[in-house]
Chain A
């Protein structure tokens, strides 16, 4: 086993080194933009995966937290001049608090009803922000005042700094996930996802565990909202509470492998590169191609590899290992 562990650190070291130098090497801003999208959705997917993957509470309403994060930091910045760095954390806490009543409502339902309820909460939030014009610019939204190069206000003139910010966010999410995976709450989440009654029977306070993991998941998702708004210098309810965010958060995790550390990252790499390639290939002429391709990939995964790419890799690895273990017995 030390061998495997050793290799893992080598691979991880190489990945980290490559990720750090990538923006220095890649000069095309189109390419960096794709990298940023990949990291962003890996991050959102990882946040979603904590609840949707480990605890198997299939939320399709994470746009609610993305939007709350985006609006909190933007309101603080425009109305009070508070830095989005602070706003980002504030947004995280707003989302964390919002997850309590949302969870209180949705967790009464199970299975598809839970999922539908989460969709509804994100839609309701979008409607609220569309209707209340005085509060947050209504349907038109607003642009973020461009201050040029202002690191303290999370504004930069090149793309590379954004890349490093979202890389940092993803790293945090992965560290949190790795930590949760090994601790009691991680075991409890998986147990609840497998069989809630059996978990309760061995002392797992299922409602409380779900509440906790939902809070963490919501907090992280909100950070992505702030980042994205700062990155595109614009916010409106349609962007901030977009259903596609909820879908993609779930999709990348399901394709990559729910309830695994790297699943959302691998899923995002696959889906985003496919969609970027398609776009450069077909241009934007054919609308809806991306969604169609996503749907096809999703169906393929669900039909052939319900455990996602990570699940498939784990199977292959286990098979090879058991083969090599059984060899001496045959000799």
Chain B
């Protein structure tokens, strides 16, 4: 399989804080890769660097064979990389349908076609019953779903999900895991940031661990959970019982 995303020696400083330090990794097409690490590790910053919201100080990001550093966020999206935000950013005054249509307009400027595509995406995340609700009236979980539907409506090849499962109850987590699995089986490449090891193990076969902006481990779930440094920095010895990752 070809490489979907190749990240090389990525660096980002905020003043004295080295938020992302020399991070390199590769996401292969159609794989689901999890990016984990304690709070403040630099996961969201990495997303912002990849999607053009921040410009890296140095390093390169190449997606599907093309260098994308320097592209603006909407160009990155048009190129096939869609993301969600850790803190959902719905267009509050718009209906769910209008929110998702706005995403669908990227690929088709005809309202009818966009509406149809939007309905598919809404259905996919299981939000059809709330189609005409104002986005601001949704529960935070449904807002997370909306965020996914809106990203999916842009018809991405690569989807970056930033903690879409935070705050869900176990049943909802199972649904979300199933959803990610379904996306993957449709051929989508996924990079997922999540704190919940149970969910990560269920969706990802390839894990990157960040700590203080540095990549400290990479490998299969089994390699990673047995890695002493990962246990020290993030999981702690009883990680199974502390799903949110108590260290920071």
A residues lining the B interface (CB < 8 Å): 182-184, 187-188, 190-191, 194-195, 197-206, 259
B89 at the interface (CB under 8 A from A): yes
B residues lining the A interface (CB < 8 Å): 51, 53, 72-75, 77-78, 82-83, 85, 89-94, 98, 101-103, 105-106, 109, 111, 114, 150-151, 153-154
* 8 nearest CB pairs, A to B: A203-B106, A198-B89, A194-B91, A200-B73, A203-B77, A202-B103, A184-B105, A184-B109
List B contacts of A191 (CB < 8 A).
Answer: 91, 94, 102
List A contacts of B78 (CB < 8 A).
Answer: 203
List B contacts of A202 (CB < 8 A).
Answer: 74, 77, 82, 102-103, 106, 150-151, 153-154
Known A-B contacts A183-B111, A184-B105, A184-B111; the reply to A198 vs B91 at CB < 8 A is yes
Instruction: Tell me whether B94 and A201 are in contact (CB under 8 A).
Output: no
A-B contact pairs, 30 of them (CB 8 A): A184-B111, A184-B114, A187-B94, A187-B102, A190-B91, A190-B93, A190-B94, A190-B102, A191-B91, A191-B94, A191-B102, A194-B92, A197-B89, A198-B85, A198-B90, A199-B91, A200-B74, A201-B51, A201-B53, A201-B74, A201-B82, A202-B103, A202-B106, A202-B150, A202-B153, A203-B74, A203-B77, A203-B106, A204-B102, A205-B72
List A contacts of B90 (CB < 8 A).
Answer: 194-195, 198
Q: Nearest Cβ in chain B — how far from A267, in angstroms?
A: 18
Q: What residue in chain B is nearest A206 (Cβ atoms)?
A: B74
List B contacts of A184 (CB < 8 A).
Answer: 105, 109, 111, 114
How many contacts A-B (CB < 8 Å)? 81
Instruction: Report the bound CA distance from A39 to B151 in whole Å.
Output: 42
Instruction: Report the bound CA distance from A169 to B103 in whole Å.
Output: 33
* Residue of A187, A195, A200, A201 touching B105 (CB-CB under 8 A): A187
Instruction: Report the bound CA distance from A182 to B90 in whole Å.
Output: 20
Q: What residue in chain B is nearest A318 (Cβ atoms)?
A: B134
Q: What residue in chain A is nearest B92 (Cβ atoms)?
A: A194
Q: What residue in chain A is nearest B100 (Cβ atoms)?
A: A202
Q: Nearest Cβ in chain A — how far from B164, in angstroms?
A: 14
Instruction: Tell me whether A182 and B111 are in contact (CB under 8 A).
Output: yes
Instruction: Report the bound CA distance from A201 to B85 in whole Å.
Output: 9
Instruction: Report the bound CA distance from A206 to B75 in whole Å.
Output: 11
Q: Nearest Cβ in chain A — how far from B92, in angstroms?
A: 6
Given contacts A201-B83, A202-B103, 14 further A-B contacts (CB under 8 A): A183-B109, A187-B98, A190-B93, A190-B94, A191-B91, A195-B89, A197-B89, A200-B72, A201-B73, A201-B151, A202-B102, A203-B103, A203-B105, A205-B74
Most buried by B among A199, A201, A205: A201
Q: Nearest Cβ in chain B — how far from A328, in angstroms?
A: 18
Q: Nearest Cβ in chain A — how far from B16, in angstroms?
A: 25
Instruction: Tell me whether A194 and B93 are in contact (CB under 8 A).
Output: yes
* Residue of B89, B101, B111, B154 touching A203 (CB-CB under 8 A): B154
List B contacts of A190 (CB < 8 A).
Answer: 91, 93-94, 98, 102
Most buried by A among B82, B94, B102, B153: B102
Most buried by B among A182, A183, A188, A202: A202
Instruction: Tell me whether B91 and A195 are in contact (CB under 8 A).
Output: yes
Instruction: Report the bound CA distance from A190 to B109 in whole Å.
Output: 16
List A contacts of B153 (CB < 8 A).
Answer: 202
Instruction: Report the bound CA distance from A183 to B74 in whole Å.
Output: 19
Q: Nearest Cβ in chain A — how far from B151, in angstroms?
A: 7
Instruction: Report the bound CA distance from A322 to B75 in whole Å.
Output: 41
Q: Nearest Cβ in chain B — how far from A28, in angstroms?
A: 42
List A contacts of B111 (CB < 8 A).
Answer: 182-184
